[in-house]
Amino acid sequence: MKKEKFTIVTFLCNWCSYEGADRAGSARLNCPANIRVIRVMCSGRVEPQFVIQAFRDGASGVLILGCHPGDCHYKKGNYKARRRIILLKKTLKQFGIEQDRVRLDWVSASEGTRFAKIANEMADTIKQLGPLSELEALN
């Protein structure tokens, strides 16, 4: 069964990217409604399991945003996230999930515009890929 609408589960670190998303709001920039935010303390907290679960529970994309490299509030959490996500993407491919459905990027607390841009790009990407069909492999 194919869904018409799709969701993008979005993990934002508490210190930079969450505030960046708030800044997009303060500037009244349009962001796609299918971006659904979950706040974590650091992008380093995002475990592969979260991403897999998001797909399994119906998400068509997962967006993870952290502080810019070198700016992580906990020094290196975002580097850890980067390593992990690279590996995860490879694994997801084996389940037939296109790599572009997961995106890891950096947004600082002042970059409202950048947040909105990435959010819209992500929505466009997923729109092009189409909603993720129910995944046998993951269930």
Partner 1 sequence: MQERIGVFVCKCSTNIGNKIDVDSIVSDVSNIENVVTAKSHNVLCSNEGLEFLMNEIREGNLSRMVIAACTPKMYEQRFMNVCEASGLNPYLFQMTNIREQVAWVTPDKDLATEKAKTLCLAAINRISFQESIEKKEIEVQPDVLVIGGGVAGIEATLTLTSRGRKIILVEEDDDSGTPELKQSAQFRKVYLVEKSPCIAGFSGRFEEVYQTMECAPCMLAPELQEVLQKDNVETLTYSEVEEIVGSFGNFTVKIRRKARYVSEEACIGCNACFEPCPVEVMNQNNLGLSKRKAIYIPYAGALPNVPVIDKENCLHLNGKECNACEQACAFGAINFEDKEQIIERNVGAIILAIGSKLSDPTQYPQFGYGKFDNVLSAIQIERLNATNGPTGGKILLKNGQEPKSIAFIYCVGRKEIGYCSGICCMYMSALAQHVKEKLPDVKIYSFYTDLCLPKKEHQRIFEKVLNKGVEFIRSDGSEYVDSDGKQLIVKYKIESSKKSQLIDMVVLAPPIEPNQDIEKLAKLLEIPLDENGFFSEEHILMKPYAAPLEGVFIAGTCQGPKDIGDSVSQASAAAGKILSKLMLGEKLELEPIVAEIDEEICCGCNICIGLCPFSAINRDSERNIAIIDDTLCRGCGTCVAACPSGATKARNFTLEQISAEIREVAK
Residues that bind ligand FES (CB under 6 A): 13, 15-16, 42-44, 66-67, 72-74, 77-78
Shortest Cβ distance from residue 99 to partner 1 (Å)?
19
Q: Which of 68, 74, 125, 135 binds partner 1 (CB under 8 A)?
A: 74
Interaction of residue 90 with partner 1, rule CB under 8 A: no
Look at residue 67 and give the partner it binds from ligand FES, partner 1, none, a contact being a CB closer than 5 to 8 Å depending on partner kind.
ligand FES
Interaction of residue 67 with partner 1, rule CB under 8 A: no
How far apart, in whole angstroms, are the C-alpha atoms of residue 9 and residue 35?
A: 6
Interaction of residue 84 with partner 1, rule CB under 8 A: yes
Question: For the sheet containing 8-13, what is the strand order?
Answer: 35-40, 8-13, 61-66, 102-106
Which letter does DSSP use for residue 134 in this model?
Answer: P
How far apart, in whole angstroms, are the C-alpha atoms of residue 75 and residue 83?
A: 15
